[in-house]
Amino acid sequence: MKCDEKIMNRMKRAEGQMRGIQKMMEEGKECYDIMIQLSAVRSSIESVMGIMVAENMKDCFEHPLDDKELQSEKIEQAMKMIKKL
């Protein structure tokens, strides 16, 4: 799947946040402060997941496959992704 630049930027930002959290843990920062940062990363990742699922669904409907069986499988896969949210 080709990802939009905005999605990649969000992932890089989350990666940077995770490095910051690791540093906080190494420095013995308060658990509460670490949990706030972990919650922010989780929210960021969930947002990326939602965007990816939405883009996949949009692609399913805007560019349907000629092969109905493959199209059905593609939609089924998209539905499984929605369940993982």
18: pLDDT strictly greater than 90: yes
DSSP 3-state assignment of 29? coil
Q: How far apart are the C-alpha atoms of 18 and 33, rounded to whole Å? A: 13
Spatial CB neighbours of 3, under 8 Å, sequence gap ≥ 6: 52
pLDDT, tens digit (0-9, with 9 covering 90-100), for 22-64? 999 999 999 999 999 999 999 999 999 998 888 888 888 888 8
Q: How far apart are the C-alpha atoms of 83 and 31, rounded to whole Å? A: 31
Judge contact between 24 and 34, C-beta under 8 A: yes
Q: How confident is the model at residue 3 (pLDDT cuts 50, 70, 90)?
A: confident
DSSP letter, residue 30: -
- Domains parsed from the chain with CATH numbers: 5-83 (1.20.58.1000)
Higher pLDDT, 40 or 75: 40
Backbone angles phi, psi at 5, to 5 degrees: -60, -35
Tell me if the pTM is above 0.85.
Answer: no
Give the N- to C-terminal CA distance of the chain in Å, as an integer: 18
**So what's the pLDDT on residue 17?**
97
**So what's the pLDDT on residue 42?**
96
**So what's the pLDDT on residue 1?**
61
